[in-house]
Each structure stands twice: as C-alpha cells, then as structure tokens.
Amino acid sequence: MYDWNDLRYFLAVAEEGSTLKAADRMGANQTTVARRIAALEEALGHSLFERRRAGYRLTETGARFVELAKPVREAAEALAADADASSRNLSGTVRLSTNELYSEAMLTPLIIAFKKQFPDIRIELDHSHEARDLAKGEADIGLRVAERIKGDALVTRRIGQDRWTFYCSKAYAEEHGKPTSFRHIPKHPIVGGGGPGIWDIYGRWLEIYAPNVEPVMMYDSSTGLLAAVRSGAGIAAMPTIAVGDDPQLVQCFASGPVRRHVYLVTHERVRSAPHVRAVMDFLGEKLVERATRMGLR
C-alpha cells in the first residue's frame, strides 16, 4: 500500500519534469523526492518515470496514473480546506491554568501559533500559585506537575518528565565558567526564589545538597528568576521542559532525581466541547513534540 504523501511527490515530479524542481515546489530536498518516487514505484510494482539526463519523463503507466492521482489530490485539498474552514468556525473561551514560567517561556509561542489556526477561540491564562479545581469549573485545562494525577473524572495526557537543570547565561559562563555538580555551587552566586511552585522544589535541593549556601538574591516570581539568570546575575535551577531550549541560557547540570511528570489535564465535563478539545489536541501534540526533542519522554 502506498502513502498518500508519495502521490503528492509523484504529481510534483510529473508536472515539473525533474526531482530538483519538484523539491523546490514541495519544500523538500532532491534526495527525499527521489526516494519517495522510488517507494511509490515499488509499492505499485510499476515504473512511473524514465530517468533521463534532461529530467524525468512519464512512462505509459505513469501517464495513466497521473490522471488517476489528480482527482485524489483535489479531493484531499478540498477535505483540508473544509477542515480548515471548520476549525476557523470554532469559537469560545478556554481557561488554562499553569504557572507563569511555563506560560512565559513555553506556552506563549504555542498559543500564538494556535491562534493562527483558531482565531475565534480565546485563551485565558491563570497563573495562580494554587492549582485550580477543574471539577468545580475554575479552569478548563491545567498544565500540571505531579507524580500522578488523581481524580476519577480528570482526563490526562502525559507530556514528559519534570526534569530540572541548573542554568546560567552564556555571558556568565564565558566570564565565570559553569558549575558541573552541586559541589561547585559555593563558588557561584545563587539566584533564589521563583514563587512557591519553583522554590518549594529548588530550595529543597539546595538544603539537601548545598546546605551552607545562601542565595545572593530572591525573587517572588518565576519570570523574575528567569530574567535574572538571563541577565547574568548567577545560576538557578529551573524546569528543563520550560527553558531547556532558551538560546540565552547554558545548561550546567541536572539538579536532582526525576519523580514527577508534566501533564495536560482537563475534566470529563468539558473534554468534548469542540473549543476545549481543539486546545487540548493542539497543545498536547506540540508539548509532546517539545518533550521528545529534549529527551524528556
């Protein structure tokens, strides 16, 4: 059985006359196009092109296949257009509960991308330090961190491990070097705080592994903590999934064992609402991709 994507490459080569021009049109490289054509020919058991120095020329079978493939492409494009129109007709407000660090460092770019696809769905972000009660309708979706999510009526999607890492800025690392373990902590200024959700974990690790070290400054918000580290004020531990791809930061060392996981959570009561499902599906897919890319799955 062939892959529909192979048909797209086949039609591009048939219409352009070469794999190079087809690659430009498809936004792929020439090797990929040639490989997809070969895979389609193998799946069909027929040669679709004659390979010549001047380019690709359709065989008799290939010419017949073009006429069969064009309606398939038109139907697929019509289906995609209909789905896009349907998504743009979705509307409503989705209340999303998470901490401010996840929101600023990770979710904001995803929400911008989401709004391009679903312009009429409004997302309200709640940065309360206390987890909102989804069962009581205090939020529709929560991005939560826990060893396990409890609640019979809660619908969860595991995103990845809640691994934490000590970070410093690139400028700081160039000037002072970077610590590679807890025993190096006393030689570097520690930026502390970050609010209850951050400092509860981060501060506990310092008490265990560097009990005699006092932070040189404390922040009551996680975004303030992040800004201080970016500016070169010192080092701090933060969740890898949130800031691990920050171009201004340098990873120093992992801060402790991983026991918790990041979950996207909604309630059975609202899970089937189209606008809530759209947010869950979009963010779930993008966040899992992010976690996989960072080795957190």
Domain positions in the chain = 4-88, 90-161+261-293, 164-254
CB 193 within 8 A of CB 199: yes
- Model pLDDT, residue 81: 60
**pLDDT digits 0-9 by tens, 188-228:** 999 999 998 899 889 988 998 889 899 999 999 999 999 99
Same fold, 4-88 and 164-254: no
Q: How confident is the model at residue 87 (pLDDT cuts 50, 70, 90)?
A: low
CATH 1.10.10.10 fits 4-88, yes or no: yes
Give the three-class secondary structure for 122. Answer: strand
- Model pLDDT, residue 88: 58
The rounded distance, in Å, linking the Cα atoms of 155 and 176 is 46
**With pLDDT > 90 as the criterion, what percentage of the chain qualifies?**
64
Q: What is the mean pLDDT of residues 76-82?
A: 70
More confident residue, 240 or 90: 240
The rounded distance, in Å, linking the Cα atoms of 263 and 197 is 15
Q: What is the mean pLDDT of residues 32-57?
A: 91
- Model pLDDT, residue 85: 53
223: left (phi over 0), alpha (psi -120 to 50) or beta: alpha
Cβ-based neighbours of 57, under 8 Å, separated by 6 or more: 17, 49, 50
The rounded distance, in Å, linking the Cα atoms of 296 and 197 is 20
Distances in Å between the Cα of 289 and the Cα atoms of 54, 224, 285 are 41, 27, 6
- Model pLDDT, residue 139: 94
**pLDDT digits 0-9 by tens, 17-32:** 999 888 887 778 889 8
Q: What is the CATH number of domain 164-254?
A: 3.40.190.10
CB 279 within 8 A of CB 262: no
- Model pLDDT, residue 247: 95
CATH 3.40.190.10 fits 90-161+261-293, yes or no: yes
The rounded distance, in Å, linking the Cα atoms of 73 and 81 is 12
The rounded distance, in Å, linking the Cα atoms of 45 and 32 is 20
